[in-house]
Structure 1
């Protein structure tokens, strides 16, 4: 809020009155404005969305976690977690922090209930600047591809004949095509075809979908309860996305329970590291470092005050009203001589 004081000197007495007035009002205005512009953390970073734990490097509140993953997760009021990517928003099935990966479900992909009814779909893609990557544990199955445009052949036989073009073939004899997860016989007896191909990039996935009716992604889930080696991995529908966990000394110090047990976060304006200690205390070191000054830049955590609040406006108004009442009989108000350009 900018205040414009117009000044028209008429006499030494008038100058003295104006100076006295400014010296009187400034002590009232500055503390009120300054107080209202200091942010207060609205709440501690949420640690879950529904039944899915949310911890570093992720955050569902702005300023929590690592800035590498800012704005990629969204938690609805109903506790449904979604992943944002350039190709859309996808329900998150689970997040693992020990074997760092996210499992998402793409509702546009083919599933067992579709059978021979292939719906229009669009390719799944990621923003690589967020340190996310498609896991090599994914397999992609394509259905009803045009053999005039896509090489659809049993991969072992094709690779023996054309080793230099082996990577470009879509394997029609793949294990997953013959044993579709949860519905192994969904396409048997029909006219639909299936082949397995791992796209090297989003562009190659788009190209495949240009000549194929639909596709689906299958990831291999580790089955810890498996009794036999061949049962150690179980195929399931979904997209596995691997992520990195940026580890820094400052974050480890911040999380150390002996040093206060803070939450790693960042300044939403500069993206510099912050240790979030609750009750609006955002420190650049760790929570029990009493020698460090608190970080007080506007907009550190979503929900902080970024402008003069209603309480501040009322406070300023009360101060101005009091001064007007005291100076009601004053003949001149700082050189403002008419109602057209009066400040008060």
Structure 2
């Protein structure tokens, strides 16, 4: 016997199909990349961390890499308290290795700038054609409000220590071709272009490691400051997410910078992971999903009564 068809049944069926909660699936953001812990604003993959940083910092086969227009550089450490990232440049000369390099530069739109502790020493520069040795040569800083000399006359001792390294001394480079680069905060509008400066290589370090006269002990690499935003304030939504054991991320397929909290079970929410113990086949439901299911149950009850 065929039951009579009621228009209300069609309406409620449509509502059910339209509002049926789909699973909010998401890949699980990792808390580390190799041996380095990952915290906001850095993330392991697309949708993790801050989208402004994802295009420059990525995790590849257990290695965290910083990518700029001048190349890709391994990240050696991250100081989350002081907001400083430390990288190494494979083309950089150190006390144990001297090799040619094109230099290093930051993308103009990157959220990074140079830490003041950086010291750059340009090596094997042409004393006749390199502009750094011209006393009249000045450069304009990134804010176009001051000019300073490119070469630090007080850096002679640093050059002396570097040129005492076996890797440099064996190729008989004269110390007169070394120059300590004064403007450590090159900024996103300026970069160290060794070809334009007529230098074949450079050495960079961010600490003497309390042994200034021993270049073998210096901490070679580049220290970069990073900022969350203009005010450099830690996002409160991210702090709440992390307190609930979540990982801060963003919705890569939607509006730019739309915040998401990635929870341990792989579910994304728009706030935090404190949304009850309701499960759907092992996955927690968000508040809007619970409301939708309640609406559906009410609709079913009305249909049965009808």
TM-score category, normalised to shorter length: 0.5 to 0.7
CA displacement 1:102-148 (0-9 Å, x = unmatched): 21111112233445xx52x2221223433211212111111222223
Rate the CA distance shift 1:186–1:274 in 2: closer, same or farther, 3 A: same
Q: Tell me how many residue pairs correspond in the alignment.
A: 250
Q: CA deviation at 1:208?
A: 6.4
Residue 53 of structure 1 is aligned with which of 20, 37, 58? 37
CA displacement 1:218-269 (0-9 Å, x = unmatched): 2116x5xx6x9999xx63211111112451221222222xxx3322111112
TM-score, L = length of structure 1? 0.59
> Aligned partners of 2:288 and 2:34: how far apart in 1?
32
Match of 1:90, SS state, is: strand
Question: Counterpart in 1 of 2:26?
Answer: 41
Q: CA deviation at 1:170?
A: 4.8
Question: Counterpart in 1 of 2:107?
Answer: 127
Q: Report the aligned-residue RMSD.
A: 4.1
> Aligned partners of 2:213 and 2:121: how far apart in 1?
21
After superposition, where does 1:8-157 map in structure 2 within 5 Å?
Answer: 39-43=24-28, 45-77=29-61, 79-115=62-98, 118-119=99-100, 121-150=101-130
Indicate yes or no: 2:165 matched with 1:184: yes
Indicate yes or no: 2:263 matched with 1:277: yes
Q: CA deviation at 1:203?
A: 4.2
> Aligned partners of 1:109 and 1:146: how far apart in 2?
18
Rate the CA distance shift 1:179–1:287 in 2: closer, same or farther, 3 A: same
Residue 265 of structure 1 is aligned with which of 229, 239, 249? 249
Q: CA deviation at 1:31?
A: 5.7
CA displacement 1:159-208 (0-9 Å, x = unmatched): xxxxx986233548533211129x63544482433121134356462266
> Aligned partners of 1:205 and 1:264: how far apart in 2?
34
User: Is there any run of 5+ residues in structure 1 with no aligned partner, and where?
Assistant: 1-22, 156-163, 296-344
Q: For the pair shown, which has the larger CA radius of gyration, 1 or 2?
A: 1
Match of 1:107, SS state, is: coil
TM-score, L = length of structure 2? 0.66
Conserved 8 A contact 2:152-2:181:
yes
Question: Counterpart in 1 of 2:198?
Answer: 211
Question: Counterpart in 2 of 1:247?
Answer: 234
> Aligned partners of 1:72 and 1:166: how far apart in 2?
30
Q: CA deviation at 1:70?
A: 1.7
> Aligned partners of 1:294 and 1:110: how far apart in 2?
57
Runs of 4+ in 1 over 4 A off after TM superposition: 201-204, 228-231, 289-292
Conserved 8 A contact 1:60-1:71:
no
User: Is there any run of 5+ residues in structure 2 with no aligned partner, and where?
Assistant: 1-8, 136-145, 277-284, 290-306
